[in-house]
Amino acid sequence: MKRKTFLKGLMGAATLAALPLTAMAQEAIKIGEINHYKRMAAFAEPYRKGIELALEQVNEAGGVMGRPVEFIFRDDQGEPGEAVKIAEELMTRDGAVMLTGAILSNVGLALSSMAAQKGYVYLASEPLADSLVWESGNAYTFRLRSSTYMQAAMLAEQAAKTDAVKYALIAPNYAYGKDAVAAFKENLQRLKPDVEFVAEQWPALFKIDAGAEVQALERAKPDAIYNVTFGPDLAKFVREGTDRGLFDGREVFGLLSGEPEYLDPLGDEAPEGWVVTGYPWYDLKDGPGGEFVAAYQERWDDYPRLGSIVGYMTAQSIFAALEKAGSTDSEAIREAFSGLQLDTPVGQITYRAIDHQSTMGAYVGKTTLRDGKGVMTDWEYKDGANYLPSDEEVSKLRPAD
């Protein structure tokens, strides 16, 4: 990747100044990064590599405000209480100036609540629950990744174009799954008022009894299925559903199901013809997206996953906010994030002032088999700004900061 092109994308709205070599001798700016590195390694490890790539490149270019940046990585085992404990240690003992991380929504919500109480800035890189920026939103929490509502709205748009009327739904029984079903229903009913929801299945997260769930969905005789399972639950659901013919002759819409983290482990058992959100890195050759893929492959001798680009953009966002703030003071960082714009591998994004949700979008396409593994085809990048509620609707959902 060309150096000038990288620097433009890395710093986004920030401007790099020429820095003397002595600048890098200054104390590092520390960022506290909390995640489920053991419990959800398939996503968390590529995510960490994305952060580390951005870190290496920004520090090589002179750092931020003339200082190197350092991420302190801590593992919370996917437990909200442990995450909150670690967060307090990072801020008070280790000298972190802000917090980021989390994949599971219940952990992200716990960190967000603590951030509001303590006045710590928290960038929720991955948690997708809508309440994070709406019902439970606060002045100190911002979110990078396109939310549950946004991605569900993208799939509902595709579903409305089909002849399917009767839908069965399956989702993990926690905040993210509940939000994903509610958002899909809301958007599909608005676009197709005659739609019917004939079954809803709510397996416990990572404890799915796939055979029983498939039987229940089949009994409902739906025209289409909306699937929100992911990780090992998705693999079990796909295999059991394929064996029992659940997907034959039916439209299937899968939230996150096109992400390499979850699609790759299925190998040649990956489903075909599902409409999904995901990350088609293998087709990204040109522009900022292609440059990121090339840089990541060169650095790690591996291909990027969705987590990789989320990690990279997390670091990008923090660098840009710090540069805009011109300070490591919490209030200055908070003010800098509100309305922050930056260029990224998926294009320009904005952290909306009204709800602190970024406009990062998602890739939507269909699954197919290529060289013995599942990939996305006929995909299109959907700008997240087009799939968010209006300011008036958000004002009703979100409490005043």
Tens digits of residue pLDDT in 352-396: 999 999 999 999 999 999 999 999 999 999 999 999 999 999 999
Q: What's the Rg (C-alpha) of the chain?
A: 21
Is residue 15 one of the residues assigned to a domain?
Answer: yes
Give the tokens for residue 35. 């995640």
Residues 304-355 have pLDDT tens digits of 999 999 999 999 999 999 999 999 999 999 999 999 999 999 999 999 999 9
Count of CB atoms situated within 10 Å of the CB of 223: 17
Q: How confident is the model at residue 26 (pLDDT cuts 50, 70, 90)?
A: confident
At residue 207, what is the residue type? K
Question: Using CA atoms, how far apart are residues 362 and 259, in angstroms rounded to an integer?
Answer: 11
Is residue 397 one of the residues assigned to a domain?
Answer: no
Is residue 137 one of the residues assigned to a domain?
Answer: yes
Return the CATH number at 106.
3.40.50.2300
Is residue 399 one of the residues assigned to a domain?
Answer: no
Task: Please name which of 10, 14, 6 lies closest in space to residue 321, comparing C-alpha atoms.
Answer: 14
Count of CB atoms situated within 10 Å of the CB of 354: 17
Indicate if 368 and 224 belong to the same structural domain. Answer: yes
Which sign does the torsion angle of CA 58, 121, 340, 308 carry? positive
> Token pair 């004939």 is at which residue?
198
At residue 288, what is the residue type? P
Indicate if 29 and 77 belong to the same structural domain. Answer: yes
Question: Using CA atoms, how far apart are residues 40 and 28, in angstroms rounded to an integer?
Answer: 29
Give the tokens for residue 289. 């997206």
Q: How confident is the model at residue 22 (pLDDT cuts 50, 70, 90)?
A: very low
Indicate if 228 and 201 belong to the same structural domain. Answer: yes
pLDDT average, residue stretch 51-59 = 98
pLDDT average, residue stretch 236-250 = 97
- Would you say residue 292 has pLDDT above 80? yes
Contact (Cβ atoms closer than 8 angstroms) between residue 33 and residue 103: no
Indicate if 353 and 296 belong to the same structural domain. Answer: yes
* Residue range of the domain that includes 163: 149-280+362-392
Is residue 400 one of the residues assigned to a domain?
Answer: no
The pLDDT value given to residue 25: 58
Indicate if 249 and 369 belong to the same structural domain. Answer: yes
The pLDDT value given to residue 401: 79
Q: Any idea what DSSP says for residue 137? A: -
Is residue 305 one of the residues assigned to a domain?
Answer: yes
Q: What share of the chain is helix, strand, coil (3-state, %, to 5)?
A: 45, 20, 35
Beta bridge partners of 190: none
Count of CB atoms situated within 10 Å of the CB of 124: 31
Alpha carbon 13 to its chain's center: 21
Indicate if 378 and 256 belong to the same structural domain. Answer: yes
The pLDDT value given to residue 16: 41
Count of CB atoms situated within 10 Å of the CB of 221: 11
Indicate if 21 and 143 belong to the same structural domain. Answer: yes
Domain tally for the chain?
A: 2
State which H helix or E strand residue 70 sits in: strand 69-75
CA atoms within 13 A on the CB side of 177: 19
Indicate if 349 and 369 belong to the same structural domain. Answer: no
The pLDDT value given to residue 10: 53
Indicate if 378 and 267 belong to the same structural domain. Answer: yes
Mean pLDDT score of the chain: 93
Residues 109-166 have pLDDT tens digits of 999 999 999 999 999 999 999 999 999 999 999 999 999 999 999 999 999 999 999 9
Residues 189-234 have pLDDT tens digits of 999 999 999 999 999 999 999 999 999 999 999 999 999 999 999 9
Indicate if 217 and 268 belong to the same structural domain. Answer: yes
Is residue 401 one of the residues assigned to a domain?
Answer: no
The pLDDT value given to residue 257: 96
Give the tokens for residue 149. 């509502």
Which sign does the torsion angle of CA 96, 98, 102, 108 carry? positive
Is residue 271 one of the residues assigned to a domain?
Answer: yes
pLDDT average, residue stretch 268-283 = 97
Indicate if 257 and 344 belong to the same structural domain. Answer: no
